[in-house]
Amino acid sequence: MNVSTRLAKKKSGEEWSWLRKAGALYVLITGLASSWVAVAAEREKFPGFVVHPHEGDGPEFEFSSAYATSASPVVIKVVGRKMKESDAEFRTSLQKHWLAGNVPRAAELRMREQVLCDFGSGRGRCDRYEFEPGGDEHSYYFYLNNWK
């Protein structure tokens, strides 16, 4: 093998090495950019609030401050006491009240389902409301394990 052949192979190897490094840099930059987009797209934490009963009849309910995700669902509690079995009759109307105040008015409900969520110790049950066009970014979770 003569000198010019060795130089050509070495140069070719250096070019491939540079291309591999450039490709790795592209993948790194693309990955970082998508992470930044994902962080930017993360929803804000929804504020908690208390709902007073109509005409003073019934308990007050407190909505937790939450991201309304599987890992941070909205928790609804009765103010001043533990939940009773009779409180369950208000569950769906309370969830709809929260959704009406926090989901864009034009959003169309795609489905409602009970799912396992990643909240608290172990896995809990949640009501999940998904709005068009679907996916987790258009879903809102309400914790169910505290309801009797």
Asked if residue 77 belongs to a domain, the reply is: yes
Asked if residue 23 belongs to a domain, the reply is: yes
Tokens found for residue 124: 């809990």
Structural domains of the chain, count: 2
What was the pLDDT predicted at 48? 97
What was the pLDDT predicted at 58? 79
Radius of gyration from C-alpha coordinates of the chain: 26
Torsional class of 136: left (φ above 0), alpha (ψ -120 to 50), beta (otherwise): alpha
What was the pLDDT predicted at 32? 33
Examine the domain organization and report whether 35 and 101 are in the same domain: no
Asked if residue 148 belongs to a domain, the reply is: no
What was the pLDDT predicted at 119? 86
Q: Where does residue 2 rank: exposed (0-12), middle (13-18), buried (19+ CB within 10 A)? A: exposed
Block mean pLDDT (10 aa), the chain, length 148: 49 48 42 33 89 82 96 95 92 95 94 92 89 94 91
Give the domain range for residue 78: 49-143
Asked if residue 74 belongs to a domain, the reply is: yes
Examine the domain organization and report whether 104 and 128 are in the same domain: yes
